[in-house]
Amino acid sequence: MVLDRRAVGPALSFAVVAGSYGLIRSRAAEPMDRPARRLMERGHGPRIDPMVAGLTDLGSIYGLGGIAVSLLLTGRRSASRDVAAAGVFAWIAAQGIKPLLHRHRPYETGGARRLVAPPAGSSWPSGHAAVAASTAAVLAPRLSPAGRVATVAGAALIGVSRLHVGVHHATDVVAGLGVGSLSASAWRLLHGRWAARASAR
């Protein structure tokens, strides 16, 4: 059996999401999440906290809209469309699977300080990380090697910021990154089929 290389990324992303789910359900996630929380607590400070609180908003649905509009205004219409569509897919997917695990957020259990407004829904998975990952997955192929590294690093930083502001566990962020990557793949597949049908007419 020959594995389609295009299926490797989505398969790995699904495994990441499923693995995170399994760890939390089996109560094996806490030994992984606890060191990350401690590390974030040591990083708090009056200068860094406001910057991280601002950075984390880039993964919100509003941040997604701002990125898409910026791309549109600079003439990159297809990139704007793809970022918006994949990001919306990611946000809907993340919100849709939150009920699978009614997980409390770190600040709700006294495990972290909350530095932003209380988010809606349960902790798993991180919707902000999902949106950031989908955006990076869409933009990276359009960029230079250095641009790709910067974009992926930016998505990772947004994920880490969710730990710093006290609203997610590390395993929530990992799952969110997987959801975002899957959402970008789903959008590429769907758009490719639409384009193929349109060209066949």
CATH number for the domain that contains residue 58: 1.20.144.10
Residue 24 lies in a domain: no
Q: Residue 111's pLDDT band (boundaries 50, 70, 90)?
A: confident
| Number of domains forming the structure of the chain | 1
Residue 11 lies in a domain: no
Provide the residue range defining the domain that includes 60.
45-193
pLDDT at res. 5: 67
Residue 102 lies in a domain: yes
Residues 2-17: pLDDT tens digits? Answer: 456 677 889 999 999 9
Report helix, strand and coil shares of the chain as percent, to nearest 5. 75, 0, 25
Tokens at residue 155, please? 């998505």
Residues 39-64: pLDDT tens digits? Answer: 999 999 999 999 999 999 999 999 99
Average pLDDT, the chain: 94
Residue 38 lies in a domain: no
**Cα distances (Å, whole numbers) of residue 197 to 7, 166, 184, 190:** 22, 46, 20, 11
Residue 79 lies in a domain: yes
pLDDT at res. 1: 45
pLDDT at res. 201: 66
